[in-house]
Chains A and B, each alone.
Chain A
Amino acid sequence: MMSFDPYGNPTYFILLFVALLPLMIGLLYGRRSHVYETIISFVFLLLTFGGVKWHTGIALICYLVYQIVLVGLYSKYRQRPDSPNKGWVFVVSVILAIAPLAVVKITPAVSHGASSIIGFLGISYLTFKVVQTIMETRDGVITEFHPVLFGQFLLFFPTISSGPIDRYRRFVKDYESVPTREKYLALVEKGVRYVFLGFLYKFILAYIFGTRMLPVVEHAALQAHGISWALLGVMYVYSMDLFFDFAGYSLFAVGISYLMGVETPMNFNQPFKSKNIKDFWNRWHMTLSFWFRDFIYMRLVFFVMKHKVFKSRITTANVCYVINMLIMGFWHGETWYYIVYGLFHGFAMVINDAWLRYKKKHRASIPSNKFTEYFAIFLTFNVVCFSFLIFSGFLDTLFFAGRP
């Protein structure tokens, strides 16, 4: 049987377009067939998780059943009119929701890089969706639970492998309605543009940076041992590759969602134009950083303030920044460089806030003009690229891996 990486080659796109055509015609004439959507979702999931990768398909099915049951039980508990809404029930539910992901992430760290049998492509993105649903159920903003809709939310195939991370309520609103013809045509127009911009990003730019240039600079950097100009080259080339590869993929996911009449949120907004680190996280992998903001950072701040752990609000914010980013680091994987990457960004946020406070206080004496603005962009860009060098794991190869 055929087996594809999502958006991996032209054949995938051609199949995708053929499958979407009836759906698009339907939407143009004001009809949405959930049956047809389910069928093509199933086919494309089969193409991704079937064939030689069938065991990941089994893992996906087990995971899905487990999470639907879990969220279903929690919803039942929480949505009872007389629900006691105990904190520990909530905490246990979240832990149970994260448990499969934790196993998948920790397995390679403790068993010499072997991957867990319960893992599958996209498990962390599904986990984000599950945890968020549980949290919003706890908050009482999600008041109804439909197992089938929830399953379709999790399995929405354009975004299943690497996001963007949509929100349950937002998704359901789109999925349950049919856009007006005018609006849908605008979506199609945008969607097609995104897909083609994605082609430029992923198949041309990411190819140039990642496949053509990166091996060359990496080789030069390894030959040079230690710090070298080539290492600087690795830093910038890797950063460009990372951005264009992921942004290209995200554009595909968003573009295809639009063609299906679902406005999946954007993931990138010209991140290298950021003026500071905070600005950067509002533009880079946005659905992930907003998820962390809403479901980790904000809740952490709330928890710390409620229990009056720190007197100063500044300390509270700073500690929460670092913990937030550290958790993000751990989420990327249990290696030193992901964790250092997380800490690096945590402290960068702390320094950034301190500077913004200082600037506010001394507004009169600090110049602010076009030049300082460009300087800020330049500085942020380099700090970010350096963090990506850590993230790439290349330093690990350079400094610690025994050369053959």
Chain B
Amino acid sequence: MKMGKRLFKIFGPIVLAAVLLLAALLSPFSFGLNHVSKETEQKAAVSLSANVLKGRLIKRQALDDGYVPFFGSSEWSRFDPMHPSVLAQKYHRDYQPFLLGARGTQSLTQYFAMQSVKKQLTHKKAVFVISPQWFVPKGTRKDAFGYYYSPLQTTDWLQSERNTAMDRYAAKRLLQMPSGSSDRVLADALARVAAGFKPTKSQQAYINYKARLLGSEDEFFSRVGIADKNLRKVEHQTQALPANYNFNQLDQLAGKIGKANTTSNSLEISNQFWRTQLKRNYHRLQGSQTHLNYTKSPEFSDFQLVLNQFANNHTDVLFIIPPINQRWADYTGLSMKMIQQFDRKIRYQLTSQGFTNICDLSRRGSEDYFMTDTIHLGWRGWLAVDQKVAPFLKQPSAGQLHYDLNDAFYSKQWQQLNPNDIRRFEQSN
């Protein structure tokens, strides 16, 4: 029949293409696309790109190949010669950092980023930088969370939830974010999880279908467009370092580089940051931070998710608490007493549950060239981090980790607790 033939000519290719596409996306085979080259791993480890954080394949492969996850946020973009990635490369350490996080990534984002590499975290080591600035009264910003949101990680998470306090809290938090309700079926499933129910059979089927689809997409596309800009920066910075590692010599060098790079202002803030971010607003910012408070925030419970995940996977973690540039804090009126209160609260949350590897730098913000700008570690600060990180990653894991989790850290009471009331909290929970 003539019409049938003609219609087949018009629509045949479309039908064929659709069938092939579905087959490729839903098939369990990876067509040899699941190989990530060493160069890609190298680039991805320092790229700080949202796609790497949101993806799965590259993170898995790199961590399987011995990269150590360094969770954090904006500090990772401060690539000076003492940056952990630079030191590790220059001195051929037997670990290489895989930097996870960039501006705007906080505990909740990190928790979901961990979902795709749970196996890779199990009985392994990790480094985690806690920024006090995350712990603002409203917690993580919805748009920042959305920027790093990955549906793939959500389906990974939904496939492994076990109706624990952690799962219910995570589902609840996700639903408070616009990205969490961007997919209607997933949102309904999340609502069930938050309420303590399993997703329905049909939701479960949808989750599995979505997981397969997104997983294939990740395999096809995750390697596209990873910039090598940061890798080149790292390589460039290694040239400034002497051939042999000597702490005192490096510390002096760090001070010298810091001094040379902070000539434009009296706050020991890097010239570049000063020129592009501060100079314009400098006068407006005097005394502008007297009311900042990092002691009451939903972020404390979001952070508990991260701790919970580490505990579940028996991960040996070194936590780093960076300081704030003292000169800057004095200028803006940021309360150091409040910072110490924050420190007390976060340390209690860590130590009371068995997380005792803490590199607490919070009182060292007044040391020269410790910070590269207002709140980010640089030069001598990075070196101080290295003093803890290198031995931590060198020694074999302590063997048995004794984590003792307390679900009360998911409560509003803890989020809003005045650090002076920690004793009372301890007694009642």
Interface residues, chain A, with chain B CB atoms under 8 Å away: 28, 181, 185, 188-189, 192, 196, 212, 223, 403
| B4-12, B33-41, B118-126, B397-405 - the one binding chain A | B4-12
- Is B11's CB under 8 angstroms from A192's CB? yes
- Is B6's CB under 8 angstroms from A185's CB? yes
Q: Which residue of A lies closest to B6 (CB)?
A: A185
Count residues of chain B with CB under 8 A from any CB of chain A. 10
- Is A192's CB under 8 angstroms from B14's CB? yes
Number of A-B contacts (CB under 8 A): 18
Contact of B16 with A by CB under 8 A: no
Q: Which residue of B lies closest to A2 (CB)?
A: B184
Q: Which A residues are CB-close (under 8 A) to B11?
A: 192
Q: Which A residues are CB-close (under 8 A) to B243?
A: none
Docked pose: A196 CA to B17 CA in angstroms: 12
Top 7 closest pairs, chain A to chain B, by CB: A189-B10, A185-B6, A192-B10, A188-B10, A181-B3, A28-B3, A185-B3
Q: Which B residues are CB-close (under 8 A) to A192?
A: 10-11, 14
Q: Can you report 16 A-B residue pairs in the complex whose CB atoms are below 8 A from each other?
A: A28-B3, A181-B3, A185-B3, A185-B6, A185-B7, A188-B7, A188-B10, A189-B6, A189-B9, A189-B10, A192-B10, A192-B11, A192-B14, A196-B14, A223-B276, A403-B280
Q: Which residue of A lies closest to B17 (CB)?
A: A196
A260 to chain B minimum Cβ distance, whole angstroms, is: 16
B361 to chain A minimum Cβ distance, whole angstroms, is: 31
B210 to chain A minimum Cβ distance, whole angstroms, is: 14
Interface residues, chain B, with chain A CB atoms under 8 Å away: 3, 6-7, 9-11, 14, 225, 276, 280
Docked pose: A192 CA to B14 CA in angstroms: 9
B10 to chain A minimum Cβ distance, whole angstroms, is: 5
Docked pose: A371 CA to B7 CA in angstroms: 45
Q: Which B residues are CB-close (under 8 A) to A185?
A: 3, 6-7, 10
Q: Which A residues are CB-close (under 8 A) to B280?
A: 403
Docked pose: A176 CA to B9 CA in angstroms: 28
Docked pose: A192 CA to B9 CA in angstroms: 11
Docked pose: A96 CA to B286 CA in angstroms: 57
Q: Which B residues are CB-close (under 8 A) to A403?
A: 280
B271 to chain A minimum Cβ distance, whole angstroms, is: 16
Having A188-B10, A192-B10, one finds 8 other A-B pairs with CB under 8 Å, namely A181-B3, A185-B10, A189-B10, A192-B11, A192-B14, A212-B225, A223-B276, A403-B280
Q: Which A residues are CB-close (under 8 A) to B7?
A: 185, 188
Docked pose: A196 CA to B280 CA in angstroms: 49
Docked pose: A188 CA to B3 CA in angstroms: 12
Docked pose: A212 CA to B49 CA in angstroms: 14
Q: Which residue of A lies closest to B281 (CB)?
A: A404
Q: Which B residues are CB-close (under 8 A) to A28?
A: 3
Docked pose: A189 CA to B13 CA in angstroms: 12
Q: Which residue of A lies closest to B14 (CB)?
A: A192
Q: Which B residues are CB-close (under 8 A) to A188?
A: 7, 10
B421 to chain A minimum Cβ distance, whole angstroms, is: 39
Q: Which residue of B lies closest to A29 (CB)?
A: B3
Docked pose: A403 CA to B3 CA in angstroms: 62
Q: Which residue of B lies closest to A195 (CB)?
A: B14
Q: Which residue of A lies closest to B276 (CB)?
A: A223
Q: Which B residues are CB-close (under 8 A) to A212?
A: 225
Q: Which B residues are CB-close (under 8 A) to A189?
A: 6, 9-10
Docked pose: A189 CA to B11 CA in angstroms: 9
Docked pose: A28 CA to B7 CA in angstroms: 10
A158 to chain B minimum Cβ distance, whole angstroms, is: 19
A72 to chain B minimum Cβ distance, whole angstroms, is: 41
Docked pose: A189 CA to B7 CA in angstroms: 8
A33 to chain B minimum Cβ distance, whole angstroms, is: 20
Docked pose: A223 CA to B11 CA in angstroms: 49
Docked pose: A28 CA to B11 CA in angstroms: 15
A174 to chain B minimum Cβ distance, whole angstroms, is: 20
B25 to chain A minimum Cβ distance, whole angstroms, is: 13
A164 to chain B minimum Cβ distance, whole angstroms, is: 23
Q: Which A residues are CB-close (under 8 A) to B3?
A: 28, 181, 185
Q: Which residue of A lies closest to B184 (CB)?
A: A2
Q: Which A residues are CB-close (under 8 A) to B10?
A: 185, 188-189, 192
A184 to chain B minimum Cβ distance, whole angstroms, is: 10
Q: Which A residues are CB-close (under 8 A) to B14?
A: 192, 196
Q: Which A residues are CB-close (under 8 A) to B9?
A: 189
Q: Which B residues are CB-close (under 8 A) to A223?
A: 276
Q: Which residue of B lies closest to A188 (CB)?
A: B10
Q: Which residue of B lies closest to A196 (CB)?
A: B14
Q: Which residue of B lies closest to A28 (CB)?
A: B3
Docked pose: A188 CA to B10 CA in angstroms: 8
Q: Which A residues are CB-close (under 8 A) to B225?
A: 212
Docked pose: A201 CA to B6 CA in angstroms: 26
Docked pose: A212 CA to B280 CA in angstroms: 29
Q: Which residue of B lies closest to A403 (CB)?
A: B280
B39 to chain A minimum Cβ distance, whole angstroms, is: 22
Q: Which A residues are CB-close (under 8 A) to B6?
A: 185, 189
Q: Which residue of B lies closest to A189 (CB)?
A: B10
Docked pose: A215 CA to B357 CA in angstroms: 41
Docked pose: A403 CA to B279 CA in angstroms: 13
Q: Which B residues are CB-close (under 8 A) to A196?
A: 14
Q: Which residue of A lies closest to B225 (CB)?
A: A212
A212 to chain B minimum Cβ distance, whole angstroms, is: 8
Q: Which residue of A lies closest to B9 (CB)?
A: A189
Docked pose: A223 CA to B9 CA in angstroms: 52
Q: Which A residues are CB-close (under 8 A) to B276?
A: 223
Docked pose: A188 CA to B6 CA in angstroms: 10
Docked pose: A306 CA to B9 CA in angstroms: 56
A177 to chain B minimum Cβ distance, whole angstroms, is: 20
Docked pose: A254 CA to B258 CA in angstroms: 62
Docked pose: A403 CA to B280 CA in angstroms: 10
Q: Which residue of A lies closest to B11 (CB)?
A: A192
Docked pose: A181 CA to B10 CA in angstroms: 14
Docked pose: A112 CA to B50 CA in angstroms: 35
Interface hub of A181, A185, A196 (most chain B Cβ within 10 A): A185
Docked pose: A177 CA to B7 CA in angstroms: 22
Q: Which residue of B lies closest to A192 (CB)?
A: B10
A30 to chain B minimum Cβ distance, whole angstroms, is: 12
B170 to chain A minimum Cβ distance, whole angstroms, is: 28
Q: Which B residues are CB-close (under 8 A) to A181?
A: 3
A220 to chain B minimum Cβ distance, whole angstroms, is: 13
Docked pose: A188 CA to B276 CA in angstroms: 56
Docked pose: A192 CA to B276 CA in angstroms: 51
Docked pose: A403 CA to B14 CA in angstroms: 48
Docked pose: A28 CA to B2 CA in angstroms: 12
Q: Which residue of A lies closest to B280 (CB)?
A: A403
B214 to chain A minimum Cβ distance, whole angstroms, is: 15
Docked pose: A403 CA to B276 CA in angstroms: 12
Q: Which residue of B lies closest to A181 (CB)?
A: B3
A256 to chain B minimum Cβ distance, whole angstroms, is: 15
Docked pose: A28 CA to B14 CA in angstroms: 19
Docked pose: A86 CA to B47 CA in angstroms: 71
Docked pose: A343 CA to B417 CA in angstroms: 64
